[in-house]
Structure 1
Amino acid sequence: MKRQLQPHQIITQSLTGPFQKTIWKPFVKAVDTYALIAPGDRIAVCVSGGKDSMLLAKLMQQLQRVRQNDFTLEFLTMDPGYDPAHTQQLLDNAALLGIPVQVFETNILRIVNKQAQHPCFLCARMRRGHLYAKAQALGCNKIALGHHFNDVIETTLMGMLYGGQIQAMLPRRRSDNYDGMELIRPLYCVHEEDILAWRDANALHFLQCACRFTSRSQEDAAYSRRARVKALIAHLKTESPEVERSIFHSIHTVQLDSMPGYKSRGIAHSFLERLE
């Protein structure tokens, strides 16, 4: 008699089955290309409850299995002061997917509500700080976040169009404030449309955003700018299907010799230095 698979096993199989080409292989490519994981690593996978972090958790679990446990995983969920119903939905989804999350509570939303005109920026900084601190306390040397391919190219364009700078989102970086800690982004090469397809194919329902500031943030400049950049890329893609890959490729092939100016390690440089 054939053994009936559990839901989390079916979902895991989908990653190396129908979504092997669009999700699993790009994920492994990012891990290997950018040297995101080394033997002996203890990695805190940060699970917010959305589609990206939930997928990341499943992929990291599967990678640990196929690479014979040469690294250790912790699954961290930070509750910044959500409504209990939101936290319960996250826990229910984690149980469905077989992800053993550890929840720790903070009062970030209460602090942000009192002090911030632009809550999303402050909240993001505080959340990351709490995640680093908790991960370090657990003996981890890395945290893994769920930023994907589209986050990378959108952030690149936002910097150019609104920030007056050419700056990319790195797949891996050292923490400025927590010694020995690094941040990695294993979904760096995974497209958002493929994440959505995986979610829908498995009939999964994740948190959109459990933050009470969402409606306010939709009026914030940063939120509307990202939405406009996303729409711009979608429009350009109708005319040039490769536009997303071109943007992504551009941050890997920067020609510094053609730039009149650039910064490295916080120090500004001019093309005139090369003419002296």
Structure 2
Amino acid sequence: MEELAALPENEVELVDIRDEVAFERGSLPGAQNLNPLELQQGGYDLPEDKLIVCICMWGKISLGLAQNLRQQGYTAVSLQGGYALWLQRKLERETAEAAEDEERLKRIEGSLRKKFKHKISTKFVEAVCKFDLVRPGDKIAICISGGKDSMLMAKLFQELKRHNKFPFELVFLCMDPGYNEMNRRIIEENAKLLHVPLTFFSTDIFESVFHV
């Protein structure tokens, strides 16, 4: 796993020889599902300038196939531990990342209750009460732009709902005017970290005003 992770993606060809049903349930990113019998018989044109990494469930069947491909003239190896070990490592990483994110969220929410209580949280609650902004049964839409102000507003309303004495609903709306994939992903990841459940609706505003 470590050796594979260290290799540039453009130098590796991932070949998953498990059956189609297993492959559809999950595989390594970029892997292609090829029939092992046809591979042994030379039925595929594989890239000769790449390292062919053969993947099976446990890393045993793929050993023999990699040897066969080397006899055909390819540079081929088997992934030790197979898909099962790769999936286990992936789940371990995701669990560790989730725990780290949860700790960050606790620090962020804790800062609103402690560090910024007088500067932000208390003044927010006072304004809500003074101007009667929230009433029992209200459904409040928080418009999320992805910036600091709207994310802070979202967390303040979540804190208010958590400690308020009467029920009200919250929805968090984000209008996508035509963001590129990276910008939208940043908003999605920040919202996920902060436990703000976003509802996106897409428009073509950027495209519409491109020539204006």
**With structure 1 as the length reference, what TM-score do the two structures score?**
0.39
1:30 aligned to 2:127? yes
| Residue 54 (structure 1) aligned with residue 151 (structure 2) | yes
Question: Does residue 7 in structure 1 map to residue 100 in structure 2?
Answer: no
Cα drift, residue 114 of structure 1:
3.5
Q: Does the C-alpha gap of structure 1 residues 71 and 83 become closer, same or farther in structure 2, counting only changes over 3 Å?
A: same
Which AA in structure 1 matches 2:190? N
Asked which structure has the greater CA Rg, the reply is 2
* Cα distance, 1:69–1:79 mapped onto 2, change above 3 Å: farther
**Is structure 2 residue 202 aligned with structure 1 residue 105?**
yes
Question: What is aligned with 1:63?
Answer: 160
Report how far residue 6 of structure 1 moved: 2.8
The offset of 1:34, in angstroms, is 1.3
Query: For residue 14 of structure 2, what is the aligned residue in structure 1?
Result: none
Structure 2 counterpart of 1:74: 171
- Counterpart CA distance in 1 for 2:199 and 2:160 is 20
Q: Which consecutive residues of structure 1, in runs of 5 or more, have no partner in the other structure?
A: 116-276
AA paired with 2:136? Answer: P
In 2 relative to 1, CA 113–69 (structure 1 residues): closer, same or farther, beyond 3 Å? farther
User: SS of the residue aligned with 2:189?
Assistant: helix
Change (3 A) 1:69 1:86: farther
Residue 89 of structure 1 is matched in structure 2 by 186
Distance in 1 between the 2:176 and 2:103 partners?
A: 28
Q: Distance in 1 between matches of 2:190 and 2:169?
A: 22
Give 1:107 shift: 0.9
SS in 1 for 2:209: helix
Deviation beyond 3 Å, 4+ runs, structure 1? none
Q: In 1, distance between residues paired with 2:166 and 2:106?
A: 18
Q: How far apart are the structure 1 equivalents of 2:145 and 2:131?
A: 24
Match of 1:12, as an amino acid? Answer: E
CA deviation profile, 1:91-121 (whole Å, cap 9, x unmatched)? 1111111111111101111222244xxxxxx
- TM-score normalised according to structure 2 size: 0.50
Amino acid at match of 1:106: T
CA distance in 2, matches of 1:110, 1:24: 39
Q: Secondary structure at the match of 2:141?
A: strand
Shift of 1:68: 4.4
For residue 88 of structure 1, what is the amino acid of its counterpart?
R
**3-state SS, counterpart of residue 78 of structure 1:** strand
Instruction: Note the C-alpha offset of 1:69.
Output: 5.6
**Match of 2:206, as an amino acid?**
L
- Tell me if 1:18 matches 2:115: yes
Determine helix, strand or coil for the equivalent of 1:49. coil
Residue segments in structure 2 that go unaligned for 5+ positions in a row: 1-98
Equivalent position SS for 1:29: helix
- Deviation track 1:2-52 (CA, whole Å, cap 9, x = no partner) reads x99632222111101110000101111111111111111001111110000
Residues 94-243 of structure 1 correspond to what in structure 2 (within 5 A)? 94-115=191-212
- How many pairs were matched up? 113
Counterpart code for 2:175: M
Alpha-carbon spacing, 1:114–1:69, altered in 2? closer, same or farther (3 Å): farther
Distance 2:117 2:208 in 1: 42
Aligned-pair identity (%) = 42
* Superposition CA RMSD, Å: 1.9
Higher RCO (C-alpha under 8 Å, 6+ residues apart): 1
